Structure 1
Amino acid sequence: MSKMLLLASATFGLLFSSTVMADCDSGSKKVFSCLTKSGKLIEVCDSGKSIDYSFGKPNLKPEIVVRSPRSEASTSQWNGVGRYLTYTVNIPNGNTVYGVFWGSDRLSDKHAIEAGVNVEVDGKLVATVNCAGKNIVQNIEGIDLKAAE
């Protein structure tokens, strides 16, 4: 294969992969994102009419995509009391709920952060996937959604 053809193929691959990458659509606000230990991207976007959840390898088509009407999504917000700041956004999809969370111990010296997604099916926790590293985007605080029950 010629060098030009290889370069063209590589360039096309990069351009194409960026169009299917899990990322908030134009005009949407990134509510949350992080990478897991296995290198998968957890992302929540506020598209105005919907709250969108995606999970999968960056630069590839997401393994899971859920668009929940805004009226069905919910949130839990730290109430200003206690040492643990915690915020969640719950994105329902039938009998499954993806509960994206972010929390920090404000009294510890390290202010350790825990973040990720809890997956519940029929009200039972079936999986927790934690974020790895420090590149966590958290804009859950103050999101305008109904309170979680």
Structure 2
Amino acid sequence: MKSYILPFAALFVSTVSFAFPQCAKPSQTVFHCTTTKGKIIEVCDSGKTIDYAFGKPDVAPEIIVKAPRQSASTYQWQGIGRTISYAVDVPNGKTTYSVYWAFEKPMEENDEPEPEGGVAVLANGKTLATVTCDPKKEIVQRIEGIDLRPTPED
């Protein structure tokens, strides 16, 4: 009986060590949200790399990308217009994970802006999929001001 307990315990520990959140110290969370289908989108600044992870909570992520910092980029709102938006683009070969956060400035004084976020999966300049964050759950956003090169405009 004891021989079954030890392998099971080892499996449990290894699974938990790769579960969300991925932004273990000294990495810093740049973005984190729960999608409308209950999965996690997360971007971490690990210094030399910008790390993207996607998947179900409490298990190993379905996708993990550790892009060299110099290959990642960012879009920063320029201060013009009602829509305030930021993005971090994490490349993986011909695929780019563009993690974004945005909200509309309120038109009326009492309006509460509802931020939105998610990830657009791009390949060869075309959007393959967009996964959105659940607006009823917290979105952690620290993209504003991140020290990355600007995303090239098409």
Q: 1:142, CA displacement in angstroms?
A: 0.2
Match of 1:40 in 2: 39
Match of 1:138 in 2: 141
Cα distance between partner residues in 1 of 2:131 and 2:143: 18
Q: Report if the CA contact (8 A) 2:16-2:60 is conserved.
A: no
The residue matched to 1:32 in structure 2 has which SS?
A: strand
Cα distance between partner residues in 1 of 2:14 and 2:97: 28
Instruction: Supply the RMSD in Å over aligned alpha carbons.
Output: 2.0
Structure 2 unaligned blocks of 5 or more: none
Letter in 2 for 1:99: S
Q: TM-score, normalised by structure 2?
A: 0.85
Q: 1:16, CA displacement in angstroms?
A: 5.0
Pairs aligned (count): 142
**2:125 maps to which of 119, 123, 127:** 123
Report sequence identity in percent: 49
Cα distance between partner residues in 2 of 1:40 and 1:134: 12
Match of 2:16 in 1: 18
Letter in 2 for 1:129: V
Letter in 2 for 1:20: F
The residue matched to 1:71 in structure 2 has which SS?
A: helix
Q: TM-score, normalised by structure 1?
A: 0.88
Cα distance between partner residues in 1 of 2:137 and 2:125: 30
**Structure 1 runs (4+) greater than 6 angstroms displaced:** none
User: Please, which moves more after superposition, 105-114 or 39-48?
Assistant: 105-114
CA offsets 1:86-107 (integer angstroms, 9 cap, x no match): 0000000000000000001112
Cα distance between partner residues in 1 of 2:29 and 2:151: 20
The residue matched to 1:55 in structure 2 has which SS?
A: strand
